């Protein structure tokens, strides 16, 4: 891949909480048009890295680049390139979806006509257009997730960061979300997603990183991960379990 098309760069990212080291020096490049999966067991460091990428917390050491911008030296320019959907999105539930889109679009100075156009497109995509005038508080978790995904794309970000995108979604909505992520990547957007649903990552992702105990322990496409795990022809679940269990065993022995 061309180094000039790097959209996210983690450069020796470390994060410590007192005596606990959550990230031990993460180096990772993610490219334009890439649908990138970031996997790991609970407590491995996934959420910490995402919170660093989105500017919620700062690393103890290291740098993050979003497109050409240093996240900490040029935060406004860097964050403008990001759309973020957390695993438990916080929405203003006394608003309707369209009112919420107006609020979110306003934060990024999106023109009202664009907000309405994109909001209508996304609500129709996720079969929520008929609910556009209802309060978000009446929605299921899966419906709220779809509203959050729709709002995150209003300002047309170059990078879409989504944490556990399929939690709470019914099978039809999972298919819609997967197709939409693929379309974004095909259009040249960068999609960075975490998920515990390994079949989603296997179906979707161009490359996958596996983190364990704050270290990237595997990186590559499915064929490369199969070679890493010495499991040719196996699915991602088998690969993930072998790699993370081996890393755990090494940690325990050391």
Domain CATH for 22: 3.40.50.300
Are 162 and 85 spatial neighbours (Cβ–Cβ below 8 Å)? Answer: yes
82-95 tens-digit pLDDT: 999 988 888 999 99
The residue among 107, 124, 156 that closes a domain is 156
| Residue 181: predicted pLDDT | 94
Residue 156 DSSP SS3: coil
Q: Which two tokens stand for residue 151?
A: 């709002």
| Residue 245: predicted pLDDT | 85
| Residue 90: predicted pLDDT | 85
Are 201 and 236 spatial neighbours (Cβ–Cβ below 8 Å)? Answer: yes
Average pLDDT over residues 232-252: 78
Residue 138: count other Cβ atoms within 10 Å of its Cβ: 10
What's the Cα-to-Cα distance from 138 to each of 29, 104, 132, 146, rounded to whole Å?
A: 40, 20, 12, 14
> Does 248 have pLDDT greater than 90?
no
CA distance 44 to 214: 6
28 membership: H or E segment, kind and range:
strand 20-31
The reply to whether 164 and 229 lie within a common domain is: yes
Q: Which domain holds residue 104?
A: 89-156
The reply to whether 100 and 205 lie within a common domain is: no
The reply to whether 76 and 135 lie within a common domain is: no
The reply to whether 59 and 128 lie within a common domain is: no
Interacting residues of 233 by C-beta distance below 8 A, sequence separation 6+: 226
b/e 74-99 (16+ beta carbons within 10 angstroms → b):
eeeebbbbbbbbbbebebeeebbbbe
> Does 152 have pLDDT greater than 80?
yes
The reply to whether 52 and 163 lie within a common domain is: yes
The residue among 105, 126, 156 that closes a domain is 156
Of 2-11, 12-21, 78-87, 214-223, give the lowest mean pLDDT range: 2-11
> Does 6 have pLDDT greater than 90?
yes
The reply to whether 166 and 238 lie within a common domain is: yes
Are 150 and 99 spatial neighbours (Cβ–Cβ below 8 Å)? Answer: no
The reply to whether 77 and 168 lie within a common domain is: yes
The residue among 126, 156, 186 that closes a domain is 156
Please report which confidence band the pLDDT of residue 146 belongs to, taking 50, 70 and 90 as the band edges.
very high
What's the total number of domains in the chain?
2
Dihedral sign for Cα 152, 158, 164, 165, please.
positive
Q: Quote the mean pLDDT of the chain.
A: 92
Average pLDDT over residues 103-113: 95
């Amino acid at each position: 891949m061309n180094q000039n098309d790097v959209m996210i760069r983690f450069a020796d990212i470390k994060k410590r909480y007192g005596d606990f080291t959550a990230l031990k020096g993460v180096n990772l490049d993610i490219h334009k048009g890439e649908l990138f999966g970031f996997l790991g067991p609970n407590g491995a460091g996934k959420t910490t890295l995402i919170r660093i990428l989105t500017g919620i917390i700062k690393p103890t050491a290291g740098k993050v680049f979003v497109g050409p911008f240093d996240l900490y030296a040029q935060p406004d320019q860097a964050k403008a390139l990001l759309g973020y959907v957390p695993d438990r999105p916080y929405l203003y539930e006394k608003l309707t979806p369209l009112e919420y889109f107006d609020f979110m679009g306003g934060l990024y100075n999106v023109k009202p006509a664009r907000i309405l156009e994109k909001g209508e497109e996304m609500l129709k995509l996720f079969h929520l257009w008929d609910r556009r005038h209802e309060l978000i508080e009446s929605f299921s978790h899966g419906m709220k997730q779809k509203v959050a995904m729709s709002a995150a794309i209003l300002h047309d970000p170059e990078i879409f960061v989504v944490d556990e995108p399929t939690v709470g979604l019914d099978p039809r909505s999972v298919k819609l979300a997967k197709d939409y992520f693929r379309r974004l990547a095909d259009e040249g957007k960068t999609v960075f997603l975490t998920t515990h649903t390994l079949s989603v990552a296997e179906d979707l992702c161009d490359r996958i990183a596996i983190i364990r105990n704050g270290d990237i322990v595997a990186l590559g496409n499915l064929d490369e991960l199969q070679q890493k795990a010495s499991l040719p022809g196996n699915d991602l679940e088998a690969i993930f379990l072998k790699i993370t269990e081996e890393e755990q065993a090494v940690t325990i022995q050391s």
